[in-house]
Amino acid sequence: CHQAGILHLDIKPANVLVTKDGGVKIVDFGIARAASDATATIAGTPHYMPPEQYEGRVDERSDIYSVGCLLFECLTGSPPFEGTMASQLLAHRDAPRPDPRVLAPKVSPGLAAVVMRAMAIDPDRRYASVHDMLAAMTAVDGGVVEPYASPPMLTQPVPKVVAAPGSPVVTRGTRFRTYGLGLLVSAFVVALLPGLVWTSAAFAPADYRPDVMSSAYTGTWWMLAVTIATAFLLLRRHAFFALIGGPSMGSPLPDRLMGKQVAAGVRMAAGAALRGALPMLFPWYVVLVAATSEAAGVSMPDELFSAWGVAWLLMPLAAITLALRTLTRLRPRPGAMIKSTIYLAGAALAALLFFVYPLALD
């Protein structure tokens, strides 16, 4: 499906079928999307989801991670990480990559290296494409696969975390309090950060602030930012609520009510709040465009905040965005090359309009 520019994003045993003649078929493209689609994708199966998929950032290497987890389970009979959804999320993101030879000693070092590289936390350390991974697996029989250099690997299976006899454990009551604290702090952060961003925008020169961003509209802009942040958290609700809930019931009670998991959930809320507050930074963006146009010798339109003026202001942002997509989506495939060419042409057109439009007004 990668050759067609499609990401599957839910590779797991239930979605892999073996035909009578030994062929392999991938099924259930329910959450699949085009590789060029920048829409955040949070759905998936925690046992096999790469850490970046929880943040909605996916590409071909995300499927490679899932294939690595699937191969690990095929070789050992167990997924690389087990436990609650929250513990799996943290393990996929932070834990050292487990060596399949711990559970299956007969696995060759070369094959273990392939699996562990496919499951690398950093996408840049994984195979760049399925073709590269296939070539590495083909080379396993020849014994020429380089060992995967990872952080200190696990030499023993990950034990299930249980509380020592007599020590306090997480109960329904303590978990309810953890949820309450996590939600309260997250709500405070989501309410506070847009206000701070709005205050910073007030220091921008008045000529670079549209009338709709005057102090009379403070409440409207704050509500817009909070709405965007809330929508973002709802899209990631499974990961968010898994984090702010803290450890599962029966686990050792953390020393602090707001442990690492809850703090990670609050950071997720802070990120959502900053995303919601981005439109408030428009005056500072106008300042940056004004400085750029002055340095380039381009005069600014008189009616800066008319429909055409705003479109002109957004041309640099469009050019930069399309240029970055050209670089990040470039692949040695005809379809990807055509898309990258279209992105590059769009970036060039946006840059051209930025320079030509003021000249047309003179």
pTM (two decimals) = 0.56
Chain centroid offset of residue 153 CA = 25
Q: In this predicted structure, what is the pLDDT of residue 38?
A: 44
Q: In this predicted structure, what is the pLDDT of residue 157?
A: 46
**Sole residue written with tokens 């020429």:** 144
Helices (H) and strands (E) in the chain, counts: 12, 4
Mean pLDDT of all residues belonging to the chain: 80
Active site annotation includes 10: yes
CB 6 within 8 A of CB 35: yes
pLDDT tens for each residue of 341-352: 999 999 999 999
Lowest-confidence region among 189-198, 209-218, 259-268, 287-296: 259-268
pLDDT tens for each residue of 4-45: 667 777 788 887 888 777 777 777 665 545 444 444 445 557
Say which residues have a Cβ less than 8 Å from residue 43's Cβ, sequence separation at least 6: 9, 10, 31
pLDDT(272) > 90: yes
**Residue 163 to residue 267: CA distance in whole angstroms:** 27
Q: Is 164 helix (H, G, I), strand (E, B) or coil?
A: coil
Q: What does the pLDDT average to over 190-205?
A: 93
pLDDT(362) > 80: no
Q: Which residue has the higher pLDDT, 340 or 361?
A: 340
Q: Is the dihedral of CA 90, 95, 100, 103 positive or negative?
A: negative
Q: What does the pLDDT average to over 169-174?
A: 73
CB 354 within 8 A of CB 313: no
Tell me the domain boundaries of the chain: 2-142, 172-281, 298-361
Radius of gyration of the chain (CA): 25
**Residue 178 to residue 161: CA distance in whole angstroms:** 19
Which is the CATH superfamily of the domain at 2-142?
Answer: Transferase(Phosphotransferase) domain 1 (1.10.510.10)
pLDDT(62) > 90: no
Choosing from 10, 59, 63, 99, the catalytic residue is 10
Say which residues have a Cβ less than 8 Å from residue 31's Cβ, sequence separation at least 6: 9, 10, 41, 43, 44
